[in-house]
A = this chain, B = another copy of it.
Amino acid sequence: MEFRIQTTALLPEEDRHALEAPSCGGYVSFEGWVRDHNEGQQVLKLEYQAYEQLATREGTRILDEAAARFPIENAVCVHRVGELEIGDLAVWVGVSSGHRDEAFRACRFIIDEVKQRVPIWKKEYYVSGDSGWVNCEACATPGHSHG
């Protein structure tokens, strides 16, 4: 079980080895790629920032929760930060288990929770020349609450 933030290119082929076990019949992986568009805007590139200490803690908690919920063998998640180009791999999740059902469910659970809970931020740079922090620019409202 490992959650990691790194600035260099992700190498799923290498991290996958940690998941192999003779008792495992199923392996499911998710890769998040940098897409050339988002919500109607043409995207040029992305910048990811992470609050590394807390991101690693919260990411590890998510993997532990996945292992408690689903009878999986192992799970690893690696998130890249820094400047990424279109097509680059931003996040990788790999899960191995005896049977496929739990590998699918755990992999989905992990990426969903990572996107919701782990302190990592994404700034999109658009073809138009604009840029913005995803979920921060659009959701700015006058009557806000931070409580």
CB-CB under 8 A for A30 and B87, given A35-B23, A35-B98, A36-B22:
no
Question: Which residues on B sit within 8 Å (CB–CB) of A86?
Answer: 22
Q: List 24 A-B contacts (CB under 8 A).
A: A13-B13, A20-B33, A22-B36, A22-B86, A23-B36, A23-B37, A24-B35, A25-B32, A25-B33, A25-B34, A25-B35, A26-B30, A26-B31, A26-B32, A27-B32, A28-B28, A28-B29, A28-B30, A28-B31, A30-B103, A32-B100, A35-B98, A104-B107, A104-B108
Question: Which residues on B sit within 8 Å (CB–CB) of A34?
Answer: 25
Cα distance, A13 to B36, chains bound together (Å): 22
Q: Is the CB–CB distance between A100 and B111 below 8 Å?
A: yes
Cα distance, A27 to B29, chains bound together (Å): 8
Main secondary structure of the interface of A (DSSP, over half): mixed
Shortest Cβ distance from A85 into B: residue: B22
Q: Is the CB–CB distance between A30 and B27 below 8 Å?
A: yes
Q: Is the CB–CB distance between B111 and A22 below 8 Å?
A: no
